[in-house]
């Protein structure tokens, strides 16, 4: 029996999977994308738009699928899987790069003096115990309150002073001082930012102080009612309530109240009484 004819007809039903393109396509298979740089056939595009676009799309899709079948293929319970390569297309970031933070006072000082930051590991080796301990923080080597069981009294010092509590106090003080510096750095950065925006730091500070004065004035038993005003003190202006005139725009008022009504009644969605509707239908 000769089946070659049948095979031929069967084959002619489908197009060949080989697609010829003058310039080969570029692929980014991680995105399942192919980039065709070939020129379009303009006359066909104009006269036979639909068919041409369909053919063009089919060819492109065929090429991508050909590429996918060239990838390493594994079969599992879920079916046959092709392992997609790493993405090669670089997608631009959505947001602009973050602006550099303004340098702190220490950073400025270090730069002026040419001090360079050397990276130190967090853990240090404690030779006394033979263990690795963090340089700072919980159970750190610089946490001197936990390590020493005895502190020698320095010369010329009061022998009855508690050296442990002294050390503790000193640490507390250092923490407070550091916090103040941190705050100052933030304020400096803010002032710089304002300056770049054209806002005067002095007037900003003035307004802030005035606000604070106004607030502190009400912090008496009489809410500042019987306090003597200071000389040259600015008069405080409250927020004035503003109402629409009694006889105003009729249309606007009506529209406004209808809008409010729509919001109130609309959200309940009581246009259709479902129970009643079902009862009516079943009758």
Partner 1 sequence: MRPLTEDETKVFFEKLSKYIGRNIVHLIDRSDETYYFRLHHDKVYYMSEALMRQAISIGRDQLVSLGVCFGKFTKSKKFKLHITALDYLAQYAKYKIWIKPNGENTFLYGNHILKAHLGRITDDTPEHQGVVIYSMSDIPLGFGVTARSTVETRKLQPTDIVAFHQADIGEYLREQDTLF
**Which residues here bind partner 1, judged by CB under 8 A?**
243-248, 250, 253-254, 256-258, 260-261, 263-265, 268, 270, 273, 275-276
Q: Among residues 230 and 250, whose Cβ is nearest to partner 1?
A: 250
How far is the C-alpha of 81 from the C-alpha of 64, rounded, in Å?
15
Dump the DSSP string for 38-79.
SPP-HHHHHHSHHHHHHHHHHHHHHHHHHHHHHS-EEEETTE
Q: How far is the CB of 51 from partner 1 (least distance, A)?
A: 55
Q: How far is the CB of 251 from partner 1 (least distance, A)?
A: 10
Q: How far is the CB of 245 from partner 1 (least distance, A)?
A: 8
Q: Among residues 53 and 260, whose Cβ is nearest to partner 1?
A: 260
How far is the C-alpha of 128 from the C-alpha of 87, rounded, in Å?
52
Going by C-alpha positions, the residue among 69, 74, 85, 93 that lies closest to residue 31 is: 85
Q: Among residues 203 and 273, whose Cβ is nearest to partner 1?
A: 273
Q: 51 vs 17, 44, 48, 56, 63, CA distance in Å? A: 19, 9, 6, 8, 18
Q: Among residues 91 and 274, whose Cβ is nearest to partner 1?
A: 274
User: 10 Å Cβ neighbour count for 63?
Assistant: 19
Q: Among residues 41 and 244, whose Cβ is nearest to partner 1?
A: 244
Q: How far is the CB of 31 from partner 1 (least distance, A)?
A: 50
Going by C-alpha positions, the residue among 177, 200, 188 that lies closest to residue 109 is: 188
Contact 26, 34 (CB under 8 A): yes
Quote the DSSP letter at residue 30.
G
Going by C-alpha positions, the residue among 173, 167, 130 that lies closest to residue 151 is: 167
Q: How far is the CB of 171 from partner 1 (least distance, A)?
A: 51
Q: How far is the CB of 261 from partner 1 (least distance, A)?
A: 5
Q: How far is the CB of 224 from partner 1 (least distance, A)?
A: 24
Q: Among residues 57 and 259, whose Cβ is nearest to partner 1?
A: 259
Q: 143 vs 56, 140, 146, 181, 279, CA distance in Å? A: 72, 5, 6, 21, 78
Q: Among residues 10 and 257, whose Cβ is nearest to partner 1?
A: 257
Q: Among residues 101 and 251, whose Cβ is nearest to partner 1?
A: 251
Q: How far is the CB of 269 from partner 1 (least distance, A)?
A: 11
Contact 90, 28 (CB under 8 A): no
How far is the C-alpha of 190 from the C-alpha of 205, rounded, in Å?
12
């Amino acid at each position: 029996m000769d089946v070659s004819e049948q095979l031929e007809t069967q084959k002619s039903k489908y197009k060949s999977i080989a697609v010829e393109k003058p310039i080969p396509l570029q692929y980014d298979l991680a995105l399942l994308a192919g980039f065709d740089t070939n020129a379009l056939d303009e006359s066909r595009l104009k006269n036979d738009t639909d068919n041409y676009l369909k053919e063009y799309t089919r060819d492109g899709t065929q090429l991508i699928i050909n590429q996918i079948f060239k990838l390493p293929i594994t079969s599992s319970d879920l079916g046959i899987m092709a392992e997609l390569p790493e993405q090669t297309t670089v997608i631009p970031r959505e947001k602009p790069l973050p602006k550099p933070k303004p340098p702190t006072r220490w950073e400025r000082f270090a730069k002026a003096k040419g001090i360079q930051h050397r990276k130190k590991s967090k853990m240090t080796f404690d030779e006394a115990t033979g263990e690795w301990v963090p340089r700072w923080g919980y159970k750190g080597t610089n946490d001197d309150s936990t390590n020493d069981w005895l502190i020698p009294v320095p010369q010329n010092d009061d022998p009855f002073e508690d050296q442990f509590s002294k050390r503790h106090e000193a640490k507390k003080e250092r923490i407070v001082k550091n916090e103040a510096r941190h705050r100052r750095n933030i304020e400096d950065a803010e002032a710089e930012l304002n300056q770049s925006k054209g806002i005067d730091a002095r007037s900003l500070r003035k307004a802030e102080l005035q606000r604070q004065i106004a607030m502190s004035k009400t912090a008496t038993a009489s809410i500042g009612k019987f306090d003597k005003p200071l000389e040259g003190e600015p008069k405080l202006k409250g927020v004035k309530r503003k109402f629409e005139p009694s006889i105003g725009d009729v249309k606007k008022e009506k529209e406004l109240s209808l809008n409010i009504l729509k919001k109130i009644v609309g959200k309940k969605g009581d246009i259709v009484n479902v129970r009643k509707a079902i009862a009516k239908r079943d009758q």
